[in-house]
Amino acid sequence: MGRLGGYSGKVARVDLTNGHTKTENLNWEWAAQYIGGKGLGFKYLYEELKPKLDPLNPQNKLIFMTGPLSGTIAPATGKYTVVTKSPRTNTILDSYFGGTFGAQLKFSGFDAVIVEGRAKKPVYISINNGKINVKPADHLWGKGAYDAISTIKKDEGDAKTSVLAIGPAGENMVKMASINADIIWNAGRGGAGAVMGSKNLKAIAVKGDGKFPIADEEEFKRISKELTEKSVLTETNIWAKTDGTPIIVDMSNTAGILLTRYFGSGVFEDHDKINTDVVKAHLAEVRACYGCPLACKRLVKVGDKILKSPEYETLATAGSNCCVGDFEAVTEFNRICGDLGIDTISTANTIALIMELYESGIVKKNMLDGIEANFGSKEALLKLAEKIGRNEGVGKILSGGTRAVIQKLGVDAEKYAVDVKGLEIPGYEPRGTWGMALSYSTADRGACHLRAWAVSEDAFGKLEPRTFKEKPALVKRLEDTNSIKWSLIVCDFWLINYEEMAALLAPVWGKPVKPEELKLTGERIWNLGRLFNVREGFTRKDDKLPPKFFKQPLKGGPTDRVKVSEEEFEKALDEYYELRGWDKNGIPKKETIQRLGLTR
């Protein structure tokens, strides 16, 4: 397989156990089959990782991966991913950042960085125009991610340097630990920050001034410009620029699917205190990932501080699910999570569970280090987030997430559990959007709203939300499409179609690309993730919703008394497996593996 355009063509490999660094050629055969990002990251991990390995074992790998569009002028292509085995779920994990790290990595001469081993003492990796150095980070250990990033940027001596860092949570291997990127962006879900901490790796800094080849520069410029005007800056996507995800707060509340009072209701009386109008009233400035015309990241003024605005998922989990109708408190929560390095969704849902247990009298103040944890208490929200992020006091239990709290306290899991494969449920109440119910249960990394944002077509779209009719095909279609988008890598906020993806990739690669070919590649990537999880022991038994969603109805609003039918859910899962070419137990069949050009 020959060289393709769009890649630097090199992978930086760092073994922290012995401090060895090396530059190796990108595997061109895999690049052609798996593109980049999610697909190529999955392929490297699948081939290189020993099955059943403890994710915090030094042999686990952290694969920071770009795609062929990263660092180019193509719109909405600024994201990049970290792929690893998740300590949270034991599944494969791909978690995405925004910002400039991906572009800088390509300019520095690498498509990916693969980190393995464990350093004896805290270190950070510095990559500067092709040179890889492992540097001491004792002086950064214990610091928040924001401080560490600012210090490293100063020490590296170039404002263009992009830095990924963990906070104290990652250092303590808290399993909901995130990785922060340049203060504004986070790879939140699945605990990649804990894997970084297990390697004694505080941060990675990268900067580059080089170029990488695009096969047909003129055609690529033309098509990028055309798509920016005709497909990106259009009514379908422009909401990301004008409002961003906070616009979803009111949409969810109207549809009765806004997480409220620890999954007790789908409507929140104070939704208008955390919605897009409130964000706009606090707006200070906007930021963009590398070269992105949508510039969807909002910074807001809170008191005398300029902070990153919470996204919808944080507003729905730390806001309505904890009944905290206070935008400034949720913004402060968001700041704490980013700095200490914890996932906002898992953290907030765990605190909401504690609030539920506190109000039920199961958890008392003396069990919470003296914190009164009623629903609506912003003090409890912020103090408990600090404790989780620092892994201190009661935070040591809470940092294991909702499942750990339920097990530790021995409370009724049927009544309280809200996770899939150990990962807490994001901001769309599945009882009011059965598309999301199926999407959460089949997501490769545990409950995830992004693998298949089916709510856009049921509760927010034209399909009936509380039926599984048409949902298996919808979820499969979205999962496959996103698999290819996240391999190129194109941002979620651009609703790009296969024809447009093919038109963008062809001049970059320098060979014709057919839309059907990309469709098949997306399906191949999704199945590769499934094969990884099957190898780890995951089957149908894990593609489940928590019993709460089958047994306990919601209260109030348009979804009053609504729950998911378990019988219909099981039928939908059967239909989904059939469409996927998997057996009744959720294992890809031999003919599916062959059709997709996969091996087991």
Looking only at residues 58 through 97 of this chain, which bind ligand SF4 when binding is defined by CB under 6 A?
Answer: 76, 78-79
Helices and strands in the chain: count of H runs, count of E runs: 24, 17
Q: Please measure the distance between the N-terminal and C-terminal CA atoms of the chain and give it in whole angstroms.
A: 22
Judged by beta carbon, residue 6 or residue 78, the one nearer ligand SF4 is: 78
- DSSP tag of 265: B
Tell me the residue type at 114: I
Q: Applying CB under 6 A, which of residues 454, 491, 501, 513 lies at the interface with ligand SF4? A: 491
Stretch that binds ligand SF4, among 221-229, 288-296, 370-378, 542-550 (CB under 6 A): 288-296
Q: Least Å distance between CB 391 and ligand SF4?
A: 30
Residue 307 · residue 328 · CB < 8 Å: no
Q: CA nearest 333: which of 281, 388, 286, 288?
A: 388
Residues constituting the chain: 600
Return the range that interacts with ligand SF4 (CB under 6 A); candidates 116-124, 295-303, 324-332, 503-511.
295-303
Binding mask of the shown chain, residues 516 to 555, with x at each position contacting ligand SF4 by CB under 6 A = ----------------------------------------
Q: Give Rg (Cα) of the chain.
A: 22
Question: Residues with Cβ < 8 Å from 219, sequence gap 6 or more?
Answer: 506, 507
- Nearest CB to ligand SF4, comparing residues 290 and 358: 290
Which residues make Cβ contacts (< 8 Å) with residue 255, sequence separation at least 6? Answer: 266, 432, 433, 459, 460, 465, 558, 559
Place of tokens 């239990």: 397
Stretch that binds ligand SF4, among 110-118, 194-202, 286-294, 531-539 (CB under 6 A): 286-294
Q: Which one, 73 or 404, has the nearer CB to ligand SF4?
A: 73
Tell me how far, at minimum, the Cβ of 546 lies from ligand SF4, in Å: 30
Q: Measured from the CB of residue 308, what is the shortest distance to ligand SF4 in angstroms? A: 12
Minimum CB distance to ligand SF4 smaller for 186 or for 317: 186
Q: Please report, as residue ranges, which positions from 193 to 222 form the binding site for ligand SF4 (by CB under 6 A).
A: none
Q: What is the DSSP string of 149-179?
A: HHHHHHHHT-TT-EEEE--HHHHTT-TTB-E
Which CB sits closer to ligand SF4, 45 or 181?
Answer: 181
Contact status: 288 vs ligand SF4 (CB under 6 A) = yes
Could you tell me the smallest distance in angstroms from the CB atom of residue 376 to ligand SF4? 31
DSSP character string of 7-68 = ---EEEEEETTTTEEEEEE--HHHHHHH-SHHHHHHHHHHHHSPTT--TTSTTS-EEEE--T
Tell me how far CA of residue 133 lies from CA of 19, 60, 112, 206, in angstroms.
Answer: 9, 21, 15, 11
| Least separation in angstroms between CB 561 and ligand SF4 | 37
According to the binding rule CB under 6 A, does residue 296 interact with ligand SF4?
Answer: yes
Determine which residue in the list 98, 197, 426, 507 makes contact with ligand SF4, applying CB under 6 A.
98
CB of 412 to ligand SF4, least distance (A): 39
Contact window for ligand SF4 (CB under 6 A) among 27-35, 285-293, 300-308, 356-364: 285-293
- Smallest gap from residue 96 Cβ to ligand SF4 (A): 9
The whole-angstrom separation of Cα 438 and Cα 107 is: 40
Task: Kindly state the smallest distance separating residue 40's Cβ from ligand SF4, in Å.
Answer: 19
The one among 163, 194, 289, 518 contacting ligand SF4 by CB under 6 A: 289
Binding of ligand SF4 by 295 (CB under 6 A) = yes
Of 102 and 197, the one with the shorter C-beta distance to ligand SF4 is 102
Dihedral angle sign, alpha carbons of residues 274, 275, 278, 284:
positive
Contact window for ligand SF4 (CB under 6 A) among 162-170, 195-203, 292-300, 498-506: 292-300
Task: Verify binding: residue 504, ligand SF4, rule CB under 6 A.
Answer: no
Pull the structure tokens for residue 349. 């849902």
CA pair distance 204, 252, nearest whole angstrom: 37
Instruction: Tell me if 292 contacts ligand SF4 by CB under 6 A.
Output: yes
Nearer of residues 493 and 577 to ligand SF4, judged by Cβ: 493
For residues 572 and 438, give the distance between their C-alpha atoms in angstroms, rounded to a whole number.
8
Four-point Cα dihedral 266, 478, 338, 118, nearest 10: 130
- Helices 327-340 and 344-359: crossing angle in degrees, nearest 10, is 120
Closest by CA to 268, choosing from 242, 240, 248, is 248
As measured in angstroms, the least distance from the Cβ of 243 to ligand SF4 is: 12
CB of 244 to ligand SF4, least distance (A): 8
Site string for ligand SF4, 433-472 (x = CB under 6 A): ----------------------------------------
Stretch that binds ligand SF4, among 1-9, 290-298, 462-470, 549-557 (CB under 6 A): 290-298
Helix or strand run (H / E) with residue 305: strand 305-308
- Considering only residues 415-434, where is the footprint of ligand SF4 by CB under 6 A? none
232 binds ligand SF4 (CB under 6 A): no
Smallest gap from residue 281 Cβ to ligand SF4 (A): 21
Residue 238 CB, nearest approach to ligand SF4 (Å): 11
Residue 60 in tokens: 């686990």
- Smallest distance, Å, CB 410 to ligand SF4? 41
Is residue 279 close enough to count as binding ligand SF4 by CB under 6 A? no
Stretch of residues binding ligand SF4 (CB under 6 A), selected from 287-295, 437-445, 502-510, 543-551: 287-295
Mapping DSSP onto H, E and C, the string for 399-420 reads CCHHHHHHHHHCCCHHHHCCEE
State in angstroms the smallest separation of the CB of 232 from ligand SF4: 9
Phi, psi of 20 (to 5 degrees): -75, 140
Q: Is the dihedral of CA 384, 385, 390, 391 positive or negative?
A: positive
Contact between residue 309 and residue 300 where contact means Cβ atoms under 8 Å apart: yes
Number of residues forming the site for ligand SF4 (CB under 6 A):
14
CB of 297 to ligand SF4, least distance (A): 6
Which residues sit at the interface with ligand SF4, rule CB under 6 A?
76, 78-79, 98, 240, 288-289, 292, 294-297, 491, 493
